[in-house]
Amino acid sequence: MNVLVNLISVPADIWVYFAIDVGIAILLLAALRWISGRLSSVDTNEELCTQDNFAFGISIAGRMFALCVVLAAAVAGSTKTDYYIAAVSMLAYGLVGLVLIKVGRVLHDKLILDRLDKEAQIMDRNSSVAIIDAASAISTAIIIHSVMLWVEGTDTNALIAVCTSFIVTQAILLVTTRFYERQYRANNQGTMQKALTEGQLALALQQAGMIVGTSIVVSTSAKLLIYNPEAYVSNFTGWLVTGAWLAVLLAILVMVLKKLVLSGLNLVQEVDQQHNVGVACIEMALSVGIAFMVSGLIA
């Protein structure tokens, strides 16, 4: 008689690792929520439920999802070690993820979105800025996840590689954002950041797709580069060069695809001027979808 379900071999103690990983994840997610409230000088329950600040919820949701993405990389290799090392690795990468997500938000606020106060906008219920904030946290986490699977172990060299990829991510996001800002300014009166402060939701969705899509293709660099624990310079330049090349490739592919798939539509008029959320969602889907295709091809 044929077997109805063919399963791969699963470790007998998989549930022990599962309990360890989920327990640490719950602890870190709770810590993230508490830290978010403390840094914003608000009570999260008050802001989310009583004040119904949707922007604040979107921002925290983005950070929580980003932390889960980082922890997923630690979970992937946890069953290959004993319980103690699995717990230490999960906790170490979780704490590193928490710190880098926070540092990334600060850098995104001070360097990339340097003409607006992101925290103040979120507390003022600006969902458009909150969407960009969530997308930037998720994009950083996607890169960190890829690097954690690329490196070997949880030693100092591995942590340096993770921090290196973080720097590369911020640099590429800075350059790509400036490019799209210049493009927006050429087609419209005013700046992209000013439009975001005015609550331009369609623009936020369009840019969020660009940010996440870029991080997906940049993370594919892990499939092209050989990890050398002590080659700090080559690891950095490798991620920077391949990441920049893949980001440019994505931008070109998305531009061509939009002209073909969305032919007959004036995207500048629809998204930038008429705030057409539907068209912006299609653009976001194309950016992320093509990024997954490029990533899958290289993988």
Domain boundaries, the chain: 14-298
* ∠ Cα 101 106 112 (to 5°): 110
| Percentage of the chain lying above the pLDDT 70 cut | 96
Structure tokens at 246: 């893949």
CB 295 within 8 A of CB 220: yes
CB 159 within 8 A of CB 94: no
CB 210 within 8 A of CB 255: no
The DSSP 8-state label assigned to residue 46 in this structure reads I
Amino acid at 144: I
Token look-up 């379900």 returns 5
The DSSP 8-state label assigned to residue 174 in this structure reads H
pTM of the predicted model as reported, rounded to 2 decimal places: 0.90
pLDDT for res 38: 79
CB 221 within 8 A of CB 299: no
pLDDT tier at 17, thresholds 50, 70, 90:
confident
pLDDT for res 77: 63
- pLDDT tens per residue across span 255-290: 999 989 998 889 889 999 999 999 999 999 999 999
Which of 214, 227, 79 lies closest to 149 in space, CA to CA? 227
Indicate the range of 2-11, 20-29, 57-66 predicted with least confidence.
2-11
CB 271 within 8 A of CB 279: yes
1 pLDDT above the threshold of 60: no
pLDDT for res 79: 62
| Percentage of the chain lying above the pLDDT 90 cut | 38
Average pLDDT, the chain: 87
| Burial status of residue 132 (CB atoms within 10 A of its CB: 0-12, 13-18, 19 or more) | buried
Length, in residues, of the chain? 299
Taking the C-alpha atoms of residue 175 and residue 156, their distance in angstroms, rounded to an integer, is 29
Taking the C-alpha atoms of residue 25 and residue 27, their distance in angstroms, rounded to an integer, is 5
pLDDT tier at 91, thresholds 50, 70, 90:
confident
- pLDDT tens per residue across span 110-167: 888 888 888 889 999 999 999 999 999 999 899 888 888 888 767 788 888 888 888 8
pLDDT for res 287: 94
Non-local CB neighbours of 222 within 8 Å, separated by 6+ positions: 146, 147, 149, 150
pLDDT for res 3: 66
